[in-house]
């Protein structure tokens, strides 16, 4: 099994990302939250139409502003819109330009290094005054697994990609562990401000800003507050020029306002749908759909598919609630991928009975009129009754007890269906196995 470890570890990380979600909010909401917490930010407002953008620019006044596409992805400044407009962050010099760029951004998809080729839809733009930084720094407050507490990551090299700094000049990044019971004291905050390089007249302001950011981090159950850049302006004010905030999904019950800001248009539609149904779903690149209960069994299922020369199309864990409704929703998600050529159902009936799962499976296949082969391995309570129900259903569901044999058949069926699709012919399967 040694050969399978890299694959399993990758999928484990993917599954953890899915199950331990962190809410991200748009920049304009982050700026409002910082402003309410007493942190200095450039004045700005959000617009959902070109006309609103023009009105906001007139209100800001002056002839030096910035318009930013509100898309939850990094690299916006170097991104390209599907209509050809380059740059999701632009300097503008008049309300007319604000209207012109807003019209080209709103309602269009922005493609960046983080969105993939499909891009993400821009539904609004943030227009703010342009401030000139005398110095630019990087500051982030994060929850650190290693130290099991908050850390403050800071660097004098702000205003640029922190990953690049970490790669090219790691000594420029400082990590300060924070005792969660003590918090960020005056001495800690002042030392960070001095080490970053704030001028003497800004040290106290920077200290206060760091402490206010930490208070916000703790009060709002944040997992991340990243300010890049945290700037000292030409008139010696400390401003958070750009902010990225993330919040712990487990705090949804006590951070109702913040979680009401979730923008599901910025998330994978299928993963959003799965989460609403209580399913853990991640689309992968293969062609064998997987429906499993339990993350560990899901990992083993994908491993054995790989071992037999196949590729899983998804990670899908229905958890302990493998009800008929959950099974139907899971099949809907799996079959929405046109690449899927077979479905491997691997369920351990401990809390739920295998015969109940079999009934739900049969009902789903009948109602959806599925034509691709389905391999069902149901083990546990009432498994014999489940096998009988499936075998007597007359449907293209193949009930197999042995995990290796089931995976082998799933891969073989997938290859046959793929070959048939490639030459544009139909294929039928009999139950003589």
Neighbours of 8 (CB within 10 A): 15
Looking at 27, 226, 329, 408, which residue is catalytic?
Answer: 226
Q: Degrees (nearest 5) of the Cα angle 37, 210, 29?
A: 40
226 labelled catalytic: yes
* CA–CA dist 354, 358 (Å, integer): 6
Look up residue 432 and give its two tokens: 């003589």
27 labelled catalytic: no
Neighbours of 113 (CB within 10 A): 10
Looking at 138, 214, 271, 329, which residue is catalytic?
Answer: 138
Q: Kindly give the residue spans of alpha helices, DSSP state H, lying in 249-382.
A: 256-259, 269-276, 295-307, 324-335, 354-368
Beta-carbon contacts of 243 under 8 Å, excluding residues fewer than 6 positions away, are 27, 30, 31, 34, 41, 225, 226, 227
Look up residue 239 and give its two tokens: 């401003």
Q: Are 243 and 34 in contact (CB under 8 A)?
A: yes
Determine phi and psi for 281, rounding to 5 degrees.
-130, 135
Q: Are 152 and 163 in contact (CB under 8 A)?
A: no
Q: Are 174 and 153 in contact (CB under 8 A)?
A: yes
Annotated active-site positions, please? 138, 226
């Amino acid at each position: 099994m040694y050969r399978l470890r890299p694959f399993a570890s990758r999928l484990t990380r993917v599954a953890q990302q899915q199950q331990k979600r962190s809410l991200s909010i748009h920049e304009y909401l982050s700026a409002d939250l910082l402003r309410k917490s007493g942190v200095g930010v450039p004045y700005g407002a959000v617009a959902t139409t070109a006309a609103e953008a023009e009105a906001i620019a007139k209100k800001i006044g002056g002839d030096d502003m910035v318009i930013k596409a509100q898309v939850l992805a990094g690299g916006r400044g170097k991104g390209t819109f599907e209509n050809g407009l380059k740059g999701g962050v632009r300097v503008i010099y008049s309300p007319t330009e604000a209207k012109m760029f807003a019209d080209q951004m709103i309602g269009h998809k922005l493609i960046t290094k983080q969105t993939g080729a499909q891009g993400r839809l821009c539904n609004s733009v943030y227009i703010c005054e342009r401030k000139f930084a005398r110095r630019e720094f990087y500051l982030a407050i994060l929850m650190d697994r290693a130290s099991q507490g908050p850390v403050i990551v800071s660097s004098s090299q702000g205003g640029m990609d922190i990953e690049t700094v970490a790669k090219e000049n790691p000594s420029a990044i400082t990590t300060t562990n924070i005792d969660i019971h003590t918090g960020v004291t005056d001495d800690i905050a002042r030392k960070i401000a001095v080490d970053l390089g704030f001028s003497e007249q800004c040290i106290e302001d920077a200290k206060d800003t760091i402490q206010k950011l930490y208070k916000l981090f703790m009060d709002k159950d944040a997992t991340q507050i990243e300010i890049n850049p945290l700037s000292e302006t030409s008139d010696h004010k400390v401003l958070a020029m750009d902010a990225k905030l993330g919040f712990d999904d487990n705090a949804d019950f006590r951070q109702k306002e913040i979680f009401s800001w979730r923008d599901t248009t910025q998330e994978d539609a299928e993963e959003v749908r799965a989460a609403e149904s209580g399913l853990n779903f991640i689309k992968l690149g293969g062609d064998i759909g997987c429906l499993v209960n339990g993350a560990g069994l899901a990992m083993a299922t994908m491993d054995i598919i790989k071992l037999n020369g196949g590729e899983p199309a998804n990670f899908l864990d229905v958890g302990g609630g493998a009800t008929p409704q959950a099974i139907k929703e899971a099949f809907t998600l799996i079959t929405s991928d046109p690449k899927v050529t077979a479905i491997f159902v691997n369920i351990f009936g401990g809390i739920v009975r295998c015969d109940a799962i079999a009934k739900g499976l049969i009902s789903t296949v009948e109602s959806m009129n599925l034509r691709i082969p389905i391999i069902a391995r149901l083990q546990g309570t009432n498994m014999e009754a489940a096998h009988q129900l499936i075998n007597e259903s007359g449907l293209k569901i193949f009930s197999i007890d042995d995990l290796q044999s089931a995976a082998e058949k799933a891969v073989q069926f997938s290859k046959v269906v793929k070959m048939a699709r490639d030459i544009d012919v139909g294929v039928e399967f009999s139950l003589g196995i």
